[in-house]
Amino acid sequence: MDTYKVREIEASDFDGLMALYTQLHGNAFPEKTPGITSLWNRILQDKDHHIIVAEADGRIASSCVCVIIPNLTHNQQPYAFVENVITDERFRKQGMATACLNYAKELAVKENCYKLMLLTGSKKESTLEFYRQAGYNSEDKTAFIQWI
């Protein structure tokens, strides 16, 4: 693998993204039901919902989601939230996830966000260090999750 390209998702990328997502939390490849198609189109049309991908060897090799959230505090500056960071097992440690996260940061800066947040369920020190190296810290805020 020589190079990769970082970009935002396109409508034709559904199958490639879903194949990558099978490596995220053991997700199954979804059946293309009208509901899934409707959800996919809704995401594609949402100007604040960005699915960022790194494409290598003709496939989606890495991805993250960045959502820009309008806000009434902090001088009405929005904030950004990053989720679903994943790199295909065959392409790890090549800088693609970092490039996707950098793209998300560029979007957040462009949209005048005052902060960029990321949650991870990983407890692996190597994963946590990866996020620290990408500019995130775990000291400023405490995250609480309520699963519903």
State the burial class of residue 143 (Cβ atoms within 10 Å of its Cβ: 0-12, 13-18, 19+). exposed
Please check whether residue 142 lies inside any domain of the structure.
no
User: Residue 44 is part of which domain span?
Assistant: 5-133
144 in a structural domain = no
Q: What is the pLDDT of residue 2?
A: 58
In the chain, the percentage of residues whose pLDDT exceeds 90 is: 86
Per residue in 9-35, pLDDT (tens digit) is 999 999 999 999 999 888 889 899 999
What is the pTM for the complete model shown? 0.93
- In the DSSP assignment, the letter for residue 95 is S
Asked whether residue 38 is assigned to any structural domain, the reply reads yes
Q: Give the pLDDT confidence of 99-111 residue by residue, as tens digits.
A: 999 999 999 999 9
Q: How many domains does the chain have?
A: 1
Residue 123 within a domain: yes
Residue 139 placed within a domain: no
> 1-5, 36-40, 74-78, 103-107: which range is least confident on average?
1-5
Alpha carbon distance, N-terminus to C-terminus of the chain: 41
* 87 part of a folded domain: yes
CATH (domain of 104): 3.40.630.30
Determine the pLDDT at residue 1. 47
